[in-house]
């Protein structure tokens, strides 16, 4: 596979190879793809984690808070260590 890297990123790649962080362009690109893969995995994981809360909001189970209510809400979280 051949990939063209934009000039500004080429400069960065050459810089990190020159400073010894990586040995080759292929190593840099491989690491970048691994990081992108991990990022995508984490995004999917976070979406799974927040889906129950989104479902509750869709069912109208959320609470409306003004600024004072929001402050009290966060203080309650700090005091009890959880959202009720």
Q: How far apart are CA 40 and CA 34, in angstroms?
A: 10
User: How high is the pLDDT of residue 83?
Assistant: 60
Q: What is the mean pLDDT of residues 63-74?
A: 85
Interatomic CA distance for residues 35 and 9, integer angstroms: 16
- On average, the pLDDT of the chain sits at 91
pTM (predicted TM-score):
0.65
| pLDDT per position as a tens digit, 15-45 | 999 999 999 999 999 999 999 999 999 999 9
The number of residues in the chain equals 84
- Residue 62 CA to residue 54 CA, distance in Å, equals 9
Q: How confident is the model at residue 3, as a pLDDT?
A: 82
Instruction: Note whether 22 and 28 are within 8 A (CB).
Output: yes
């Amino acid at each position: 596979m051949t990939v063209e890297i934009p000039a500004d990123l080429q400069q960065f790649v050459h810089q990190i190879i020159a400073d010894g962080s990586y040995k080759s362009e292929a190593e840099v690109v491989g690491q970048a793809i691994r990081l992108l893969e991990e990022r995508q995995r984490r995004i999917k994981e976070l979406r799974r984690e927040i889906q129950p809360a989104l479902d509750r909001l869709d069912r109208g189970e959320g609470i409306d808070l003004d600024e004072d209510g929001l402050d009290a809400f966060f203080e309650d979280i700090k005091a009890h260590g959880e959202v009720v």
